[in-house]
């Protein structure tokens, strides 16, 4: 059974949000975070060598938390736009999502939205925490049924 503290769940969510890969050691309860080479092409791997070596040598002891697919990240932006109480800003956000390069356009609108910028960060953080908790629940249910 996977048991994580709220701080550990928040840490995993924060790291997934920044594009990292997160692993949980089922024997020790330790969390390992390493760079995701798909997101950081050409990055210096040296700072991560010890963690990567540990993961490779003890692969069966770790489970990886899944990061969001592109369509799931898009869904977060849509849900945030739906939650906005300012009709003008909401319209701008939906317009940004329907143009080419929706991620860049959404970010620009949010970055220039005053207090709503912090609301976006809080909304996204809560979403990632929920994603991690859902994965823990699924993994624990799987273990119970094996």
pLDDT in tens, 55-92: 999 999 999 999 898 899 999 999 999 999 999 999 99
> Rounded distance, CA 138 to CA 143, Å?
9
Residues 57 and 99 in one domain: no
In a domain, residue 44? The reply is: yes
Residues 10 and 63 in one domain: yes
Residues 29 and 80 in one domain: no
Residues 29 and 74 in one domain: no
Residues 63 and 95 in one domain: no
Residues 90 and 110 in one domain: yes
Q: Work out the percent of the chain whose per-residue pLDDT is above 90.
A: 71
User: According to the model, what pLDDT value does residue 3 have?
Assistant: 86
In a domain, residue 97? The reply is: yes
Full-model pTM: 0.85
Sheet holding 62-65, edge to edge: 31-34, 21-25, 62-65
Mark which of 20, 45, 67 sits at the end of a domain: 67
Mark which of 36, 67, 98 sits at the end of a domain: 67
Give the pLDDT band of residue 146 (cuts 50, 70, 90).
Answer: very low
The per-residue pLDDT for range 119-134, each reduced to its tens digit, is 999 999 999 999 999 9
Kind of pairing, strands 21-25 and 31-34?
antiparallel
The number of folded domains in the chain is 2
Four-point Cα dihedral 112, 113, 117, 119, nearest 10: -170
Give the pLDDT band of residue 141 (cuts 50, 70, 90).
Answer: confident
Residue partners of 78: CB distance under 8 A and separation at least 6: 97
Domain range for 53 is 6-67
Residues 62 and 25 in one domain: yes
Specify the DSSP element, H or E, that contains 120.
helix 116-145
In a domain, residue 45? The reply is: yes
In a domain, residue 139? The reply is: no
In a domain, residue 49? The reply is: yes
């Amino acid at each position: 059974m996977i048991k994580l503290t709220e701080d550990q769940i928040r840490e995993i969510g924060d790291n997934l949000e920044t594009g990292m890969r997160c692993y949980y050691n089922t024997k020790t309860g330790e969390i390992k975070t390493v760079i995701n080479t798909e997101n950081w092409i050409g990055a210096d791997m040296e700072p991560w060598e010890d963690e990567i070596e540990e993961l490779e040598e003890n692969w069966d002891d770790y489970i990886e938390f899944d990061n969001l697919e592109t369509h799931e990240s898009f869904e977060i932006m849509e849900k945030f736009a739906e939650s906005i109480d300012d009709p003008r800003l909401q319209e701008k956000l939906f317009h940004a999502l329907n143009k080419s390069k929706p991620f860049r356009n959404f970010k620009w609108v949010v970055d220039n939205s005053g207090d709503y910028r912090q609301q976006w960060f809080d909304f996204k953080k809560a979403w990632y925490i929920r994603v991690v908790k859902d994965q823990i629940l699924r993994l624990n249910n799987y273990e119970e049924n094996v």
